[in-house]
Each structure stands twice: as structure tokens, then as C-alpha cells.
Amino acid sequence: MVARYIPPLFKDGYDFDAVECAAEPPYAFDNIHVDYVRVEPQGVATAFWRGVGPVHNVFVVESFLDQLAAAAKQGPVAYRKALLGHNPRALGVLSLAAEKAGWGTKLPKGQGRGVSVQFAFGSHLSQVAEVEVAADGSVKVRRIVCAVDCGLPVNPDTIEAQIQGGTLFGLTAALHGAITIKDGRVEQSNFETYLPMRIDEVPVIETHLVRSAEAPGGLGEAATAIVAPAVTNAIFAATGRRIRALPIDPGQLKA
């Protein structure tokens, strides 16, 4: 996207937005290799979307971390904590989100919790999602718990509002945000075909701030990027099925 819209910032074939949160995740990995290859769809105009690069990269990284935890037969929170010993701020938001969400307490059958962690826009976030998957594959997000370390908090009410708004924006995309093309045109034309979340779908969203004296970071897009993997990891906890593409397809989750 930088290559198309901000050519002066596209240098030596490198698009920093395309690899943000993938090239430098918050975890300590012994080995990491990230490639960027510029590929743009023919005849389809694309542009920046709220959350920009972190939106797709956090989904991939946090989904893969969950798979690694399962392969290692460790809990998703414990596995992440072991990779964050060098990063006290990321470890702090993960621990706070897990505590406030009651991580480890039992949920009814068909429900699950999922977690995600990110450092983006100068702020550390962790979210825990509680979801319920019905027999027909429909997904109900019941609760989102978000821990935030954005440095020195200037206006806590505004921080909470940004977390709520960004989370719902990201949830809308994860649950409903399909765009399809027919005969060279996008089929979705308005809000009856490209659905925003309705009020009866909106979960409880809790925001918990870490007291910090660090330099303030940004929050306008942060929650949009982190929410989808928390939800899809929760779906795995509830059903044992991995979601690897968005928006979530209820057909893949039918009992």
C-alpha cells in the first residue's frame, strides 16, 4: 500500500506497512524470517483500511502462536508468557487481561476463551475474547477484556472509547466483512449488504489500563488489529477448529 500511495517511503523494494507487527513481534524468537513480495490485484482499487498493516499481520502471528502452544501442549497464555520475559510491558498487559478475564475458569459447553497480544502504534495491548459457537456455526462474541499500556494515559475516558470503537470495527470485519466481485464490480453497495455489527451482537467490552509513565502511544487503530485473533483463538478453544481466513465462515463451524 505504501508503494502505491506514498511512493517516496517505498525504498529498496521494502513496504514497512506490509510487514509491521510481523517483522518485529513482541516475542523473543530464536529465528525469524519475513519476506515481502509486492502483489496487487488487477483492476481492483485497494487502499488503507483502519488498522493498516497490523490488521492482517497480528491475525497471522497470533493465530500461529496459538497453534504453537497447542503443538507444545501448553496453555495459550502460559506459552506466550514464556516468550515475553524480555518484554515487561507486553507481559504486563497479557497478565492483566488474563487476570481480569478469569482465564482458566470453566465455561459452558460450546464456549471458549482466546487471547492475543500486540505492540503497534506505540502501545501494548492484550485482549481476551469469550465466544459461543452454536450448532448452526453462528458465532456470538459475549465478552472482550482488553488490557492497555499506552504509556502515560492523558484521558482515560477517551482511551476506553477508542478501545470500544476499534474493537467493534474489527469485529464487524471478522464476522461480516466479506467483499465479493461479480462481473468486475463489488457486489456490496451499502449497509444492508455490507453489515456493520447490530446492537444485539455487541459484546461487553472491558478496558483496563496499566499505570505507566512511558511516552504516550496511539490507540485509534490498535483494537481493530488485535480483536480478530482473540476471537478465532476462542473459537478453537470452543470447537477445536482453526479459522485461517476472514471473515469467519459459519459453514466451517457447523456441529
Q: Please enumerate in sequence order all residues whose Cβ is within 8 A of that of 136, keeping only pairs 6 or more positions apart, or say none.
A: 250, 254, 255
3-state secondary structure of 148: strand
What CATH number does residue 37 fall under? 3.30.365.10
Instruction: Give this prediction's pTM.
Output: 0.95
Q: Please enumerate in sequence order all residues whose Cβ is within 8 A of that of 208, keeping only pairs 6 or more positions apart, or say none.
A: 96, 97, 100, 145, 146, 147, 148
Residue 16 carries which side chain, given as an amino acid letter? F
Residue 233 carries which side chain, given as an amino acid letter? N
Region 242-248 average pLDDT: 95
Considering its fold, how many domains does the chain have in total?
1
CA 141/CA 139 separation, integer angstroms: 6
Residue 89, domain extent: 2-253
DSSP strands (E only) in 31-182: 111-120, 123-133, 139-149, 181-182
pLDDT at residue 255 greater than cutoff 80: no
Which pLDDT tens digit goes with each residue over 160-200?
Answer: 999 999 999 999 999 999 999 898 888 999 999 999 999 99
Which pLDDT tens digit goes with each residue over 100-142?
Answer: 999 999 999 999 999 999 999 999 999 999 999 999 999 999 9
pLDDT at residue 229 greater than cutoff 90: yes
- The pLDDT assigned to 113 comes to 98
